[in-house]
Amino acid sequence: MDRLLVLVRHGQSEWNLKNLFTGWHDVGLTEKGEAEAKKAGEILKADGLSFDVAYTSDLKRAQDTLTIILDELGQADLPTIKDQALNERDYGDLTGLNKDDARARFGEEQVHIWRRSFDVAPPGGESLKDTAARVLPYYEAEIKPRVLAGERVLVAAHGNSLRALIMEIEGLSGEEIVKRELATGVPIIYRLNEDGTVAQKQDTAV
């Protein structure tokens, strides 16, 4: 039994390019982001992978990334489930601010704490701990059972919603996961044991 789970962060978005805090704001992919998604599809196709079901967030940049990947795989009609449980972390009052402007306004140390601590939320927004509190119950209820039943599952989502998943799958602490960088449009391929732990991991960025 394969128990295949592939996670992909969306390709570069318009606000990634502008160095803005994006969160739940719904922006599209750049041309580079579309090319990254296409490359992700090519990587998965070259590995001979296909899928039984896909999950994505309620946001366009993740959905568009998934669409491009599935087109590349010849699986455009794959059953796809969209849910805001997989949305990016909500950056609250930082949403739409340039990261350099935010540092000038709030101080470099404070912005670093908001971005890279596990449990400190920006004003009006979510910490990574808060994000995990909505992502992980969804994973446990909806995604993990299908993987453990032998279905091949693809998830296209966001840096922080995927960090929450990786923390759970790899058994990492909050302090460990905040240090993990996720490149845009790069598949991480897991094969799980029957208890949901990692049997094999392939990071295609390496």
pLDDT in tens, 23-62: 999 999 999 999 999 999 999 999 999 999 999 999 999 9
Residue pair 204/188 in contact (Cβ under 8 Å)? The answer is yes
Active site residue 88: yes
Residue 202 has pLDDT above 80, yes or no: yes
Active site residue 10: yes
Residue 147 has pLDDT above 80, yes or no: yes
Half-sphere exposure of 68 (CA within 13 A, CB side): 28
Instruction: Give the pLDDT band of residue 1 (cuts 50, 70, 90).
Output: confident
What b-and-e string marks burial along 17-36, b requiring 16 or more CB atoms within 10 Å of the CB? eeebbbbbbebebbeebbeb
Predicted confidence at residue 99, as pLDDT, reads: 95
Reading the block at residue 26, the tokens are: 């719904």
Reading the block at residue 41, the tokens are: 């599809």
Reading the block at residue 144, the tokens are: 């993990």
What's domain 4-203's superfamily in CATH? Phosphoglycerate mutase-like (3.40.50.1240)
Residue pair 98/15 in contact (Cβ under 8 Å)? The answer is no
Taking residues 154-170, what's their average pLDDT? 97
Residue in 34, 72, 88, 126 annotated catalytic: 88
Predicted confidence at residue 82, as pLDDT, reads: 98
Strands (E), 10-163: 53-56, 80-82, 153-157
Taking residues 112-120, what's their average pLDDT? 94
Residue in 10, 72, 126, 158 annotated catalytic: 10
Taking residues 152-177, what's their average pLDDT? 97
Taking residues 153-164, what's their average pLDDT? 97
Predicted confidence at residue 206, as pLDDT, reads: 56
